[in-house]
Structure 1
Amino acid sequence: MTKIETMRPRAYSYIRFSTPEQGAGDSLRRQTDKAVKYAAQHNLILDDTTTFRDLGVSAFRGANVAVGALGDFLSLVQSGDIKPGSFLLVENFDRISRDSILDAQAVFTSLLSAGITVVTLSNDRAYSRESLRQNQFAIFEIIIGFIRANDESARKQELLRAAWHGKRLKLKERGTPMTRLSPGWVRLREDESGFELIPERAEVVRRVFELTLAGQGQHAIAKTLNREGVPVFGVGKMWHRSYIKKMLEDPSVVGMHTAHRVERAGGKKRRVPTDTVEAYFPPAVERETFEQVAALATGRGAGSTVKGIENILAGLAVCPKCGSTMTRVNKGSRSRPSLVCVRAKAGKGCAYKSVSCEQVEFALVEKASEFWRTLPAPDAALEAEWQRLLAAEEGHDAAISNIVDAIKGGGSSTILLDSLRHVEADREEIRKQVSVVGEKVTDALTNRTQQTVERLVEGLRMTTRDIVSINATMRQLFAKVTVDWPSGYLWFHWKHAPGEETRLTFAWPSDA
């Protein structure tokens, strides 16, 4: 090696992309060619004996630093094997890190502090301790670059979640199973194309739900299955209440499957649920049956029965004054049952007012058809809200890009940085709303809601009314019922259309 060559700075190329698809494309060649070209133009020795490549490694959570080639580069810098004055050539900031700004900046700062010059090849910009000392405002360009890289990765996750929302609404075919694991009443087909029910076990599942709706508790159901010698699902020797409870609460019985991912926090692993896939398993029971049992389970202890429900608004009635639950009160054979605010009953300051259960039930029966007439159609309103939020988000994205361009073109200023901070905060709030509305759109299954309303109206019109069944159906439809005794109205708050209410008159207005 000549003396001139030993004086030339040494450069190292760091190449990273996240997915195998990028490897099959042009990413590797593009990043390699840019490094070679920059080294030649700036009289650098491009080290070809040590390669630093993280191919198919994400930088969103710092994997390329923790276990990847960038971590190896940092170790060599810290040990002195890579000398101060060397160059690290990367295509852009997002190749180094897509992690949160504090973690990303820490990696970048450690490189500069060790005397490494970092070059972003996309714009031929070189960053070093000396360059930042001469132009301190350049740090804002670095910070913005890392923020945008992290924001882009976070946005991709949001888009993926939104895609799952669309799949839940439009999914027509199941793909290859995610795993061989399945509930005890389901097995993988021989060709592994999907799952199928085990007929005799599916029949047991259906029977457990039927017995529950008939009023039997979980202990009693387990005892019945054991007495009849029904084989358990798996390696157990007998049926237990805990398994019956798990079965009754398991969405797999209607075909739903929620995969989990593993995250690390504080050195510990935790399982985090991802989006639920509809029709992943073949359903063993009807969805309305599953929802009826879920509604009945509210407010019940394990193993209890449901035959004791006598209040048609059990678990739904709330006080118009304080929003607390209203409970059924019966003071003896000479009095009639009534609804009373639990706070008032306990002497906690709310107004004590008895509302006749008979009046409430009479109003429901007489005006049952109002539920049909006032049934909200959520699709149009939710769709309009969804589009409005998406447009607002897009507008904020454009505003952020304009501010960033202004910072790059004219230098940083307090006004521009404050504007950027405010616009980004507003956009984050809009994105939260987008996620919430997306869930509501997914859950607004109008056809099923109409069928449930039909079942409610039919149940109310029957000569002999099944209070347990009516109450379970109402819990599927309504989040709560405000017993507004001062005005004489019942306000039914629909679950599938938040903010929408149906009003029924049940009494004359009363003094508050």
Structure 2
Amino acid sequence: MRIAYSYIRMSTGRQIKGDSLRRQLEAARTWAEAKGYRLDDGLRDIGVSAHRGRNKTKGALAGFFRAVEDGTVEAGSILLIENVDRLSREKPLAALDTLRALLQAGIVVVPLDLGWELDEEVLNREPWRLQALLSMMERAHNESATKSHRGLQVMETKRRRAVDGIPFSTIGPGWLDNNGDGWIVVEAKAAIIREMFELAASGVGSYRIAIEFTRKGYPTFGGAKHWGSSYVSKTLRNEAVVGTWQPHREDENGRVLKMGEPILNHFPDIISKDLFLRVQRQILPKNSRGAKGRHFKNLFTGRCRCAACGDPIQAPPPQPHGFRAAPHAGFPGRGGIHRPHGRGHGAQL
């Protein structure tokens, strides 16, 4: 039996609690049964936005493109989407490029709300469909752009209110609760954080702290079975322990972007600023730049550049007595062994 692939996408994980998943699955199953296809409904991007094409580079759709390229998904296969919005919410031409890439690879794309079975032949024969799709793509992009703008306005309003002492959200650091009237310190958890900082100030590293807390059976704040060194490391840098909060948001690529200046005294402080600063002084040298190896750490990595061409200087293992200037992106022939003493280019800090 022939296979039809159903692509399901939701911009946020919260939508899975609503009717979106059921609706998309039901439409795909109905089409597959009517056409005599076996449905593969494992192609799902939950919590992945299509506004700037993130679903093309991460997640299930990106995997589908790779499967098409390597032949795992054969030409002539069917891709079912609820509507063109699920495939892309980028600007119309970018969204059209996504659709064209699938069609040119021989994939038949079926927007279920339209019932159209789209391939290159159909669009070349009936260009009015292409015009209709472009209009839908424009509408989808404009809707997302409007939602994004409104969301930023709401977040900026909340940030300004936070400056005046009104909590930005009822969700805060793991050692705090919010009872609706303000933040409450959960002393049992705050005691763990205080111990964490005291250990760090005495020179104990994040890895050892995580092992020790796991050994003592301290409950983690997120439900994990064991304490992780990455969580410890992040907590030791988190200014929320001294009451400071940095408003932020995530962009379409998941990168965290700061919003305005840090807000002092937003949370109750649970350690002294002196202890916090002592820990920062303790952990900064351990996180200095430099390539880490089993037997050494090169303190000059990232700091040296060629005095003549300005390229970064590297010291690869096969060249223990020389430094290599990495080829510049615009001058691929410029790299080579750069020796600090001799006729070559000199190293410069």
* TM-score, scaled relative to structure 1: 0.36
Letter of the 1:10 counterpart: I
Residues 174-323 of structure 1: pairs in structure 2 closer than 5 A: 174=167, 175-176=169-170, 178=172, 190-191=185-186, 257-259=246-248, 261=250, 272-274=257-259, 281=266
Distance in 1 (CA, whole Å) between partners of 2:44 and 2:255 is 29
Look up the match of 1:45.
37
Letter of the 1:119 counterpart: V
The structure richer in helix per residue is 1
Letter of the 2:38 counterpart: L
Deviation at 1:101, TM superposition (A): 3.2
Residues 327-338 of structure 1: pairs in structure 2 closer than 5 A: none
Letter of the 2:247 counterpart: T
**Please, which runs of 5 or more residues in structure 2 have no aligned partner?**
176-182, 191-200, 203-241, 269-349
Q: Secondary structure at the match of 1:53?
A: strand
Contact in 1 for aligned 2:7/2:80 (Cα 8 Å): yes
Distance in 2 (CA, whole Å) between partners of 1:255 and 1:73 is 43
1:10 to 1:95, Cα distance in 2 relative to 1, 3 A = same
Q: Secondary structure at the match of 2:75?
A: coil
Look up the match of 1:83.
74
Deviation at 1:166, TM superposition (A): 4.0
Distance in 1 (CA, whole Å) between partners of 2:97 and 2:256 is 28
1:29 to 1:256, Cα distance in 2 relative to 1, 3 A = closer
Residue-by-residue CA offset, 1:78-107 (whole Å, 9 max, x unaligned): 222222222111001111112333432222
1:76 to 1:263, Cα distance in 2 relative to 1, 3 A = closer
Deviation at 1:45, TM superposition (A): 0.9
Letter of the 2:132 counterpart: E
Deviation at 1:27, TM superposition (A): 1.1
1:165 to 1:56, Cα distance in 2 relative to 1, 3 A = closer
| Residue 155 (str. 1) matches residue 140 (str. 2) | no
Deviation at 1:275, TM superposition (A): 5.8
Contact in 2 for aligned 1:84/1:115 (Cα 8 Å): yes
Distance in 2 (CA, whole Å) between partners of 1:40 and 1:73 is 22
Q: Secondary structure at the match of 2:259?
A: strand
Look up the match of 2:27.
34
Look up the match of 1:213.
none
1:38 to 1:263, Cα distance in 2 relative to 1, 3 A = closer
Contact in 2 for aligned 1:262/1:271 (Cα 8 Å): yes
| Residue 57 (str. 1) matches residue 52 (str. 2) | no
Contact in 1 for aligned 2:9/2:47 (Cα 8 Å): yes
Deviation at 1:22, TM superposition (A): 0.9
Match for residue 6 of structure 2 among 7, 13, 16: 13
Say which one has the larger Rg.
1
Letter of the 2:39 counterpart: D
Distance in 2 (CA, whole Å) between partners of 1:138 and 1:38 is 20
Contact in 1 for aligned 2:11/2:48 (Cα 8 Å): yes
Residue-by-residue CA offset, 1:197-250 (whole Å, 9 max, x unaligned): xxxxxxxxxxxxxxxxxxxxxxxxxxxxxxxxxxxxx99xxxxxxxxxxxxxxx
Contact in 2 for aligned 1:11/1:44 (Cα 8 Å): no
1:86 to 1:280, Cα distance in 2 relative to 1, 3 A = farther
Residues 119-138 of structure 1: pairs in structure 2 closer than 5 A: 119-138=110-129
Q: Secondary structure at the match of 1:159?
A: helix
Letter of the 1:121 counterpart: L
1:189 to 1:30, Cα distance in 2 relative to 1, 3 A = closer
Distance in 2 (CA, whole Å) between partners of 1:255 and 1:45 is 57
| Residue 146 (str. 1) matches residue 137 (str. 2) | yes
Identity over aligned residues, as a percent? Answer: 34
Letter of the 1:258 counterpart: P
Q: Secondary structure at the match of 2:24?
A: helix
Letter of the 1:27 counterpart: S
Distance in 2 (CA, whole Å) between partners of 1:46 and 1:280 is 58
Q: Secondary structure at the match of 1:118?
A: strand
CA RMSD of aligned residues (A): 4.0
Letter of the 1:47 counterpart: L
Contact in 2 for aligned 1:261/1:274 (Cα 8 Å): no
Distance in 1 (CA, whole Å) between partners of 2:146 and 2:62 is 26
Deviation at 1:259, TM superposition (A): 2.4
Deviation at 1:56, TM superposition (A): 2.1
Distance in 2 (CA, whole Å) between partners of 1:86 and 1:22 is 28
Contact in 2 for aligned 1:168/1:277 (Cα 8 Å): no
Look up the match of 1:67.
58
Deviation at 1:32, TM superposition (A): 0.7
Letter of the 2:17 counterpart: A
The size of the alignment, in residue pairs, is 212
* TM-score, scaled relative to structure 2: 0.50
Distance in 2 (CA, whole Å) between partners of 1:177 and 1:47 is 40
Match for residue 109 of structure 2 among 101, 105, 118: 118
